[in-house]
Amino acid sequence: MDVDQKLEELSVLVEEAKAVPLSASCMVNRAVVLDLIDDIRDALPSSLSDADQLLAEREAVVAEGRREAERLIAEAREEQLRMLSQHEVYLVAVAESEALRAETLDEVTRMRRETDDYIDARLATFEITLHKTLAAVERGRDKLRGQAEFEEEYADDEGPIPE
């Protein structure tokens, strides 16, 4: 039996004991009470040593828990620093990409302007050449029309057509 059961038996024995008239005292069997007390004493040393051992184990468990908590906190701090470092790298990469994007946009705008200017210059040259060609064609047609009129005049005169 354990200590709790023996104490419960002692409590029941006292509660059920005959009361002494006109007093708060009661009568119990001395031998039975002493046997219960001896049983409790016999059980207590092992219980106390068990309690001491349990307390020692508790201290060891608490100490191990603290060590584990400190290790986890250290790991969490390392992870935080790593993540912060990665975030900073990300922010630098974003800033560099934005700068590169702006630079590329400026370069594309400049190249587009240069390309438009080049094409406009080439079209202007082509337009001038085309105007010259059209003028030459028009002069040639006028000449042909003039020659045709001249030939018609001579055909009416019936003479040889000069060349």
Kindly report, residue by residue over 96-142, the tens digit of the pLDDT. 999 999 999 999 999 999 999 999 999 999 999 999 999 999 999 98
Q: Which of 37-51, 52-66, 112-126 has the lowest mean pLDDT?
A: 37-51
Instruction: List the one residue out of 13, 19, 72 whose CA is nearest residue 37.
Output: 13
Q: For residue 67, is pLDDT > 90?
A: yes
pLDDT at 157: 61
CA distances from 103 to 45, 89, 98, 100 (A): 85, 21, 9, 5
Q: For residue 51, is pLDDT > 70?
A: yes
Q: Where are the domains of the chain?
A: 3-157
Instruction: List the one residue out of 28, 4, 31 whose CA is nearest residue 18.
Output: 28
Rounded Cα–Cα distance for residues 46 and 11 (Å): 22
Q: For residue 1, is pLDDT > 70?
A: no
